[in-house]
Homo-oligomer: A and B are copies of this chain.
Amino acid sequence: MSLSERKVKILQAIINDYIATAEPVGSRTIAKKYDFGLSSATIRNEMSDLEEMGFIIQPHASSGRIPSDLGYRLYVDSLMQQRDLVENEKSFLHGMISENVNQIEYLMEETAKMLSAMTNYTTIISEPIIKSTRLKKIHFMRLDEKNVMIIIAAEGNIVKNHMAKMDYLPNDDELYSISGVVNQCLEGQIMESIELEAIEKLHKNLPGYDELITATLKAMQKTVKSSENLQLHLSGAKNILAFPEFSDVQKAKSLIQTLEDKESLKNLLTANTVDGDEVQIYIGNESGIEEMKDCSIITTSYKFADNITGTIGILGPTRMNYSQVVSVLNGMVKNIEVVVKNLNNQNDKEKNDS
């Protein structure tokens, strides 16, 4: 059986209607609402075919049809038309740029909130992962006789602190000159794989400071590790509960549990980053997470700097408004890049303000 143009149109009508109403849609509804010039009986026959082909499903014998995962898949792959941002959304997004978000966590938190507000779905953002990025600078800050804070700046101006305890800690001036040597030896090294040569050089140039050197190398590793152990920002969990598909308490509970658990979400989000900057759509079971079989998640990655990227995901019921989410998501990614640029080069703007 071939997928005639008429069938495709009917399928699209079914999906549109179901996205809007969340009710199984029947042949009569289609015949009346959409102007195909066909009777309900004909539509019925076509729907029967579409069901046989697996694009739609009948929840029970005497009800209308709902799209299957496969139906949605066809929809997002070839039926869905690109949709521009409406004025409302544009101004929403624009409003964000002006706010001075000067810490990554805040930026993430705000972005998540904004996306939930715009889409009415649930937003999940992973903080940027540092990968194969190079060391820019190290400082040592002496806190007391034993404790030193090792401050590590990576490319992209990502800065992380690590506390370390030493048996013996040099004074401030000495630490400063040590940091000079360390920087000279390690600058430009890839964080997670420091060349042996560099380490040897370090030991040679700083005899007697083995303890500090070890702590420093460990801190560099931890910087990468801790970003792998990535933080998720969740926002708008309540939104998804508002959809009728989750009025069943049991379902709602297990979904909340899955969201809270974070482990499986992480995998899903990080799977994306490999595939470049395209939007990824996981429909229903495609996510591979049992509890999310009635949900779809649309993900995309954003770039903070070279080798420093994170992922944004928007989670909704399978009948979510794919085209809206895709366009909002694309808009937001552009937006983040603008904000980051501003963050690193803000003085032009500040001059104009004053």
Contact A143 B136 (CB under 8 A): yes
Number of residues of chain A lying within 8 A (CB) of chain B = 46
Chain B residues with CB below 8 A from A249, complex form: 241, 247-249, 252
Chain B residues with CB below 8 A from A162, complex form: 102
A149 closest partner in B (C-beta)? B159
CA distance A176 to B172 in the complex (A): 10
CA distance A143 to B248 in the complex (A): 53
Q: Is A344 an interface residue (CB 8 A)?
A: yes
CA distance A260 to B248 in the complex (A): 20
Chain B residues with CB below 8 A from A347, complex form: 146, 165-167
Q: Is A19 an interface residue (CB 8 A)?
A: no
CB contacts under 8 Å to B, within A145-191, are: 146-147, 149, 151, 153, 157, 159, 161-163, 165-167, 172, 176, 180
Contact B345 A165 (CB under 8 A): yes
CA distance A346 to B350 in the complex (A): 45
CB contacts under 8 Å to B, within A237-261, are: 237-238, 241-242, 247-249, 252-253, 256-257, 260
Q: How far is the CB of A160 from chain B (nearest CB, A)?
A: 9
Q: How far is the CB of A247 from chain B (nearest CB, A)?
A: 6
Chain B residues with CB below 8 A from A241, complex form: 249, 252-253, 256
Contact B141 A151 (CB under 8 A): yes
CA distance A256 to B256 in the complex (A): 9
A139 with B166: in contact, given A241-B253, A253-B241, A257-B238 (CB under 8 Å)? Answer: no
Q: How far is the CB of A22 from chain B (nearest CB, A)?
A: 15
CB contacts under 8 Å to B, within A103-118, are: 103
CA distance A241 to B258 in the complex (A): 13
Choice from B167, B260, B345 contacting A238 with Cβ under 8 Å: B260
Choice from B143, B226, B242, B260 contacting A153 with Cβ under 8 Å: B143
Q: Is A343 an interface residue (CB 8 A)?
A: yes
Contact A143 B157 (CB under 8 A): yes
Q: Is A131 an interface residue (CB 8 A)?
A: no
Chain B residues with CB below 8 A from A247, complex form: 249
Choice from B139, B163, B180, B260 contacting A102 with Cβ under 8 Å: B163
Q: Is A142 an interface residue (CB 8 A)?
A: yes
Choice from B139, B157, B167, B237 contacting A260 with Cβ under 8 Å: B237
Q: Is A137 an interface residue (CB 8 A)?
A: yes
Contact A159 B161 (CB under 8 A): yes
Chain B residues with CB below 8 A from A176, complex form: 176
Chain B residues with CB below 8 A from A344, complex form: 147
Chain B residues with CB below 8 A from A165, complex form: 345-347, 350
Contact B167 A141 (CB under 8 A): no
Q: How far is the CB of A330 from chain B (nearest CB, A)?
A: 26
Chain B residues with CB below 8 A from A235, complex form: 260
List the 6 closest A-B pairs by CB distance, nearest first.
A238-B257, A165-B347, A241-B253, A165-B346, A139-B141, A143-B157
A sample of 9 cross-chain residue pairs with beta-carbon separation below 8 angstroms, ordered by A number, consists of A139-B139, A139-B141, A141-B153, A143-B159, A151-B151, A167-B347, A172-B180, A176-B176, A238-B257
Known: A149-B151, A241-B253, A242-B253. 6 other contacts (CB 8 A): A103-B226, A166-B347, A241-B249, A241-B252, A247-B249, A249-B252
